[in-house]
Structures are given as C-alpha cells and as structure tokens.
C-alpha cells in the first residue's frame, strides 16, 4: 500500500468511527422514555441515525476494508449490496434532513408567532407517512444497483466495485431521475425551509430590539423577547425556556443545512460528471462527500438535542 492509499484508508476509517459514534449518540439521546412520550423530533432523529448507520456499516466499513486490502475482494454479490446501500442511505438521509428542517421551521414559527401552538408535523401519523414514502423512493432508486454492478478488474485482480448500466442512455436517464427526485427536490425543500428559518430569526431579533424598552422584570422579559409582547410573570419562565430551546434547535438546523448544501452541490456535480464520463475516481470522491455528511451532521444536531432534552418530561 502506497502513501496515497494509506491516507485514503485512514480518512475513511476516521469518518467511519466518527459516524458510528455520532449517530449512536444521536440515537441514544433521541430514544423516548415510553411509548406515550414519543415526539416528532425524536422519530426524525432516530430515522436519520438509522439511515446513516446503513452508510457507516454497509458503505464506509467495507470500503475501508477494501482500501486496506488494496482491492475489492468481497465479491460481486456484496458489490450490489454496497451500491444499493449507498443510494438507499443517501436518499433517506436527505429526505429526513428535509423533514427535520420543515418541522423546526414550523415549531419556530409556532413559538414566535402563535404562542407555541401545535403544528402539522407534530402529528406522528403524518410524519410516519412521510418517512414511509421517503423509504419507498429510496428503495426504488437503489434496487437497480443489484442488477447493474460489476467488479472492475485491473491486471487480473479484483480491484473496485462500480455501476455498469446497459448503455450510456440508461445511465444518464437514471442519473437525471435520481438527481432530480432523490436530491434536487428535497434539497430545494431544505433550502426553502432554512431560508424561512433565517428570515424568522432575523425578524425575531429585530422584534426583541424594538421591544427591548418594553420588557417587564427579569423573568417576564425572557418571554417578551420571544413573543414580542410582555408575558405574565407566573407563566413566562416555562414558555421562555421552551422557545429558547426551539431557537437553539432551529439554529442547528441552519448549520446542518449549510453543511448539507455544500456537500450536496459538490456531490451532484460529481454525479453529473460521472454520468457524462464514467470514472472510478469521481465515484470514489462522491462517496467520500456523502460519507462526510453522515458523520458531521449528528454532532450538529446533538447540540440542539442536548438543549431540547432539558425541557422534556422524562
């Protein structure tokens, strides 16, 4: 193994370990104390962690082992599983990030503009239906990888697991549909929700500044800063704390969206490049970009989850 391959193996191994730790922590922190205490944000975080686990164990781990071995030795059958898992996890993770962004935008608006009124995504039935639909879409785009894969041979040895479509038209058609429905659509939703969160945060900051002189007392002032109007002293502490947690979570969503959009744009350009001119190097770089997203975002969300858990009755 030369120096370049060693560095690649180390980077992949670090990403694998960081992803396992972050997603495990996110999963544990999101588990409800009982069935009656299940909340939408917990369901979404658990689904995100499980989606990322697919990447960690069925994509990052075998890819790391193959890098260390210097060739793909896991066989063509597992090559199909490898490619299937990569798109399945990626699509589910992207859609779940979209749902989380939409949920926290709704919660933020509900807290700041409607006094914390329930939002549509508080419905576990609706969220369950959305997640089931996203997994269906993910499966639809992942199944072809069982049939159109091969182990690339170099100098008589098995070297790499790649996608092999019947012809260029089939590959380009698949890539266009995949990038449009499994990437561009949820990415546009994430961008829109994030923009609305930023606008709401800016408006709230201005409201706090404009009503700063109208704050009444210490505890009442905390709630007034979030609602735009003074709150009774006896009722201000709890809503104020809840709104502060929601603000923190919303800010973590903005941070995740920024990381996602950078990774997604890079990943999309690489996929488009590969659809025009197939290259194992491009596929490898695209895989690294996708893996980096799954190992970074759990830690950003944990920043919000840690604060949110303080207000949850366990």
Q: What CATH number is associated with residue 52?
A: 1.20.1070.10
In a domain, 214, yes or no: no
Dist CA 193 CA 225 (whole Å): 23
Count of domains observed in the chain: 1
In a domain, 94, yes or no: yes
pLDDT digits (tens, 9 = 90+) for 40-62: 888 999 999 999 999 889 888 88
**Could you report the per-residue pLDDT of 73-106, keeping only the tens digit for each?**
777 788 888 889 988 998 999 999 999 989 988 8
At residue 99, the pLDDT reads: 94
pLDDT computed for residue 194 by the predictor: 87
pLDDT tens for residues 131-164?
999 999 999 999 988 888 877 765 555 467 778 8
- Number of residues assigned to the chain: 314
- Distance, in Å, from the CA atom of 103 to the CA atom of 304, rounded to the nearest integer, reads 14
The answer as to whether 285 is a domain residue is yes
Inter-residue contact 32 to 42 (CB < 8 Å) = yes
Cα–Cα distance, 288 to 12 (Å, whole number): 8
Output the pTM of the full model.
0.77
Mean pLDDT to the nearest integer, 217-244: 45
Phi (first) and psi of residue 165, to 5 degrees: -85, 160
More confident residue, 183 or 88: 88
**Domain annotation covers residue 42:** yes
- Give the Cα-Cα-Cα angle 43, 44, 47 (nearest 5 degrees): 85
**CA distances for 237 relative to 144, 222, 234, angstroms:** 54, 7, 7
φ/ψ bin of 172: left (φ > 0), alpha (ψ from -120 to 50), beta (otherwise): alpha
Across the chain, what does the average pLDDT equal?
76
Taking a C-beta distance cutoff of 8 angstroms, is the pair 94, 55 a contact? no
* Stronger pLDDT, 261 or 275, i.e. the higher one: 261
Per the structure, the complete domain to which residue 137 belongs is given by: 3-209+219-311
Of the CA atoms within 13 Å of residue 122, those in its CB half-sphere come to 10
């Amino acid at each position: 193994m030369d120096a370049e391959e060693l560095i690649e193996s180390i980077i992949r191994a670090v990403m694998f370990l960081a992803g396992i730790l972050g997603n495990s922590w996110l999963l544990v922190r999101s588990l409800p104390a009982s069935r009656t205490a299940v909340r939408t944000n917990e369901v979404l975080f658990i689904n995100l962690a499980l989606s990322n686990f697919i990447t960690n164990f069925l994509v990052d781990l075998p890819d790391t082992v193959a890098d260390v071995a210097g060739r793909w030795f896991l066989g063509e059958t597992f090559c199909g599983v490898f490619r299937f898992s990569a798109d399945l996890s990626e699509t589910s993770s992207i859609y779940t990030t979209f749902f989380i962004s939409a949920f926290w935008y709704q919660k933020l608006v509900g807290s700041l503009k409607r006094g914390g009124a329930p939002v549509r995504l508080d419905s576990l039935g609706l969220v369950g239906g959305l997640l089931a639909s996203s997994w269906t879409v993910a499966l639809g785009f992942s199944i072809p990888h069982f049939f159109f894969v091969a182990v690339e041979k170099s100098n008589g040895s098995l070297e790499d697991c790649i996608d092999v479509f019947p012809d260029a038209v089939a590959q380009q058609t698949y890539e266009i549909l995949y990038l449009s429905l499994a990437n561009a659509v949820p990415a546009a939703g994430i961008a829109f929700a994030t923009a609305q969160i930023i606008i709401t945060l800016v408006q709230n900051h201005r409201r706090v500044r404009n009503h700063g002189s109208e704050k009444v007392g210490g505890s009442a002032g905390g709630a007034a800063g979030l609602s735009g109007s003074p709150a009774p002293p006896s009722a201000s502490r709890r809503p104020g704390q809840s709104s502060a947690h929601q603000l923190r979570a919303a800010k973590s969503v903005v941070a995740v969206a920024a990381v996602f959009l950078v990774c997604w744009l890079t990943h999309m350009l690489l996929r488009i490049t590969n659809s025009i001119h197939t290259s194992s190097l491009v596929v490898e770089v695209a895989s690294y970009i996708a893996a980096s997203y799954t190992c970074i975002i759990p830690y950003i969300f944990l920043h919000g989850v840690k604060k949110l858990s303080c207000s949850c009755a366990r």
